Amino acid sequence: MIYQVLYEDKFIFENFLLYYTQSFYYLMAWCFYYLIISHQDNKIFGFIHKLQSNKIIDAKSRIISSSHAIILSFYSSIYLLNFISYDYWWLCLPICSSFGMFDLSLVTIHYNIFKRGYFPLLVHHNLLIFGPLLVTEENSLVMAQAFLFEVTVPILDFGWVLYHMKKKETRIFKINAFLSILSFFFFRVANGTYLIIRSFKYSIYFQTVSIIFFLLNVQWFINLTKLFVKY
């Protein structure tokens, strides 16, 4: 019995070590991506240098956030559609943790820029960093569906860019704002409610993470709705 416990502890530790070793490699990739985005002569992301100086760091963070969201939601979608196996889908999870580490470090270093929404980001990113450790093959479909929250991120970030480039009176801004509200409600609020119900089948830790994510999303949805009504 003692040997079995020691073996299981060793197995957990080795998986933990492997997971965060992979996360570290991805973290280095996010740092390299950030340097590319920051280059003054970058033709793809050169628009960020047209923003106010105090918004440039935020813009870089959002570009990386949207890139992460596209990767995670894509792999989760094709896993839910049964195009890839669990083992293949699991390989994208360190990307999630590494992004949480990178972005949390960025917003902490530039706390004066992000202090208004820092606490929700702190909670959210810690869930991104450690939450994937709760994933098992048994609950993987629920977790993959939860990662569809990320579908909303590029839409929201595009709206942020339009707003800060003084395009809030344009038709595209209004359409994007409507899509932001609609997608946020569908993928985060309605989907989050369903996932809380599903989470009661699993551990208390899994349930807790699901509830915290849901409460964060409800608060963000309220704030988003207020902005939509305002503009």
pLDDT digit string (tens) for the chain, length 231 residues: 333 333 333 334 456 778 888 999 999 999 999 999 987 666 777 778 778 888 899 999 999 999 999 999 999 999 999 999 998 999 889 999 999 999 999 999 999 999 988 999 999 999 999 988 888 889 999 999 999 999 999 999 999 999 988 888 889 999 999 999 999 999 999 999 999 998 888 888 888 888 998 999 999 999 888 877 776
pLDDT at residue 200, rounded to an integer:
85
From first CA to last CA, the distance across the chain in angstroms is: 64
What pLDDT does residue 85 have?
A: 94
Q: Tokens representing 48?
A: 């960020």
Q: Give this prediction's pTM.
A: 0.88
CA pair distance 102, 29, nearest whole angstrom: 10
- What pLDDT is recorded for position 227? 78
171-179 long-range Cβ contacts below 8 angstroms, 24+ apart: 173/231, 174/231, 177/227, 177/228, 177/231, 178/228, 179/155
Nearest-angstrom CA–CA distance, 174 and 40: 30
Which pLDDT score, from 0 to 100, does residue 231 have? 63
Give the phi and the psi of residue 69 in degrees, each rounded to 5: -65, -40
Nearest alpha carbon to residue 42 among 24, 54, 60? 60
